[in-house]
Amino acid sequence: MKSPIKLTPKKIIAILICALLSFCLIYTVSAQSSSTVVNAEASTSQPQIGSTLTVNLIISNVQNLAGIDATLQWNSSVLSLSNVVLNLGVESHSNGVLHGNKLNYDSNSLSSGDIYVQEEKVSGSYHLVAQSVGQATPGFTGSGTIATLTFNVTSTGPTGLNLQTDLADHPAAGETANLIDHQDTVDSVTAVIPEFPSATILALFIALGTAAIVLTAKQLNKKKIMSNAKEL
C-alpha cells in the first residue's frame, strides 16, 4: 500500500498559484472573445417626421476579421431606406473594415485582393455579405464602420431597429474559417412629431395679440361712429 502524499505548505501554495493562473488565463480568453461588438449606432434617438436618420454599423475590437454577414431590420411604416454607403477596404477607407483593394459584386470573377460583396434591400430590411478574397489578403484587426445607412422618417413611433450579424476569421492555409464570438447591440430610436421652436411660438403669440388689438380697436371705433350717428 502506497503511503499518502504529504502536502507541504510550499506545495499547497504552488498548487494554489497554478489554479489561480489557470483561472486568470481562462477569464482573459473569455473576455477577449466577448469584447467584440457590432453596434447599430443612430445619429439621434428621437428623429422628427420629415427629417433623416443615419445609422452606422460599427464593429469594435475585432481580431483577424475576413467575413461579415449582417442584417439590419426596421419598422417600414416609420423609416424608408434612401441610401447605403459601404466602408469596406481599409486601403481606401481609413475608418472602414476588411482588407482589399476593390469591391467585386461578381462571384465569377473574383481575384486575390478583392472584397466580394452581396447586398439585398427590401422593405424593412437590409442584408450585407462581405468577404476578403485570397489567402494573401490579411484579416482585419481593430475597429471601424462597416456601412452607413440613411433613412427618411415618414411616421411617428418606434423604429424597431434590429441587428443580427455573423463574423468569420481569416483561416490559416489549408484550414476553414471560424466564427468570431461577439455581441450585437442596437440604439433605441423613436420617431416624434416636430416641435415648434420657441421663437416661432413667440412670434405667433405676438401676431395673434396684435390681430386681437386691431380687431378690438375696429369694433370700438365702429361703436363710436354708430353712437355719434344716433345723436345726430
Domain spans of the chain, in order of start: 32-191
What is residue 15's predicted lDDT score, i.e. its pLDDT?
44
pLDDT tens-digit readout, 156-190: 999 999 999 999 999 999 999 999 999 999 999 99
pLDDT: is 19 or 108 the higher one? 108
- Using CA atoms, how far residue 69 sits from 157, 173, 195, 196, 214, in Å, is 28, 22, 39, 42, 67
Set of cell numbers at residue 171: 483561416
The pLDDT of residue 228 is 61
Question: Identity (one letter) of the amino acid at 98?
Answer: L
Banded model confidence at residue 19, pLDDT cuts 50, 70, 90:
very low
Predicted TM-score of the model (pTM): 0.72
pLDDT at 224: 65
| DSSP classification of residue 206 | H
What are the two backbone dihedrals, phi and then psi, of residue 220, each rounded to the nearest 5 degrees? -65, -40
Q: What is the DSSP string of 17-86?
A: HHHHHHHHHHHHHHHHHH--EEEEEES-SSPBTTSEEEEEEEEEEEEEEEEEEEEEE--TTTEEEEEEEE
Residues in the chain: 232
User: pLDDT band at 22, cuts 50/70/90?
Assistant: very low
Angle at 209 between CA 201 and CA 193, to 5 degrees: 20
Radius of gyration of the chain (CA): 32
Among candidates 19, 119, 16, 105, which has minimal Cα distance to 70? 119
User: What is the C-alpha to C-alpha distance for residues 148 and 70, in angstroms, rounded to an integer?
Assistant: 13
Instruction: Over range 7-36, report the average pLDDT.
Output: 47
- At residue 32, the pLDDT reads 42
Extract the C-alpha cell encoding 121.
434591400
Side chain identity, residue 229:
A
Fold of the domain built from segment(s) 32-191: Immunoglobulin-like (2.60.40)
